[in-house]
């Protein structure tokens, strides 16, 4: 495995651990959201007399339902909770292939995902004044005011449609996978 692949896997592992923690730890998720707002390059610093958008709590049911589906089809939580440092890269790769296949099925069955930008990565583009800063993140040497001209490094992703199953009354969404007891 080269350094680029190792770096990617390290970032992926960190991303998955943080995503999991954000789903379960509301105070942590709130702190991350505040940090993201204060660090946001695309919206710039808050000027005197200007206020930040109000934050609101989200309901965890859909996120937990999706996480349960990822566990059911791809053993996603099992994979994240496993200490992979004791396994070889080949063993991790084999496990990741199974997890990827199951999780991809869940995403394709329940979410319609589309790119944020239609241009191909590497294309030059100009962002006009008033561009959607929640859909486009500026990186690099960001100075001045729009229009900004740059290179599309990643097309981004957005969810165009969500098709989660309905939940039965009384269903505990916090149980991602029931414990199994063989008799």
pLDDT digits (tens, 9 = 90+) for 148-164: 999 999 999 999 999 99
Residue range 58-106, pLDDT digits in tens:
778 899 999 999 999 999 999 999 999 999 999 999 999 999 999 999 9
What's CA 81's distance to the chain center, in Å? 18
The β-bridge partners of 111 are 162
Dist. CA 141–CA 130, nearest whole Å: 19
What pTM, to 2 d.p., does this model score? 0.65
Neighbours of 110 (CB within 10 A): 18
């Amino acid at each position: 495995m080269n350094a680029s692949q190792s770096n990617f896997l390290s970032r992926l592992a960190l991303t998955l651990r943080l995503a999991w923690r954000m789903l379960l730890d509301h105070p942590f998720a709130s702190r991350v959201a505040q940090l993201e707002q204060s660090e946001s390059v695309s919206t710039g610093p808050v000027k005197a007399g200007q206020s930040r958008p109000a934050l609101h709590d989200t309901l965890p049911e859909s996120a937990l339902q999706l996480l349960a589906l990822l566990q059911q089809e791809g053993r996603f939580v099992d994979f994240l909770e496993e200490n992979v440092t004791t396994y070889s890269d080949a063993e991790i790769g084999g496990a990741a292939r199974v997890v990827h296949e199951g999780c991809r099925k869940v995403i394709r069955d329940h979410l319609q995902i589309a790119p944020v930008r239609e241009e191909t990565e590497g294309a030059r583009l100009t962002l006009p004044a008033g561009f959607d800063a929640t859909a486009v993140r500026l990186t690099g040497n960001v100075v001045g005011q729009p229009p900004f001209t740059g290179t599309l490094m990643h097309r981004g992703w957005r969810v165009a449609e969500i098709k989660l199953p309905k939940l039965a009354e009384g269903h505990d969404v916090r149980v991602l996978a029931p414990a199994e007891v063989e008799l």
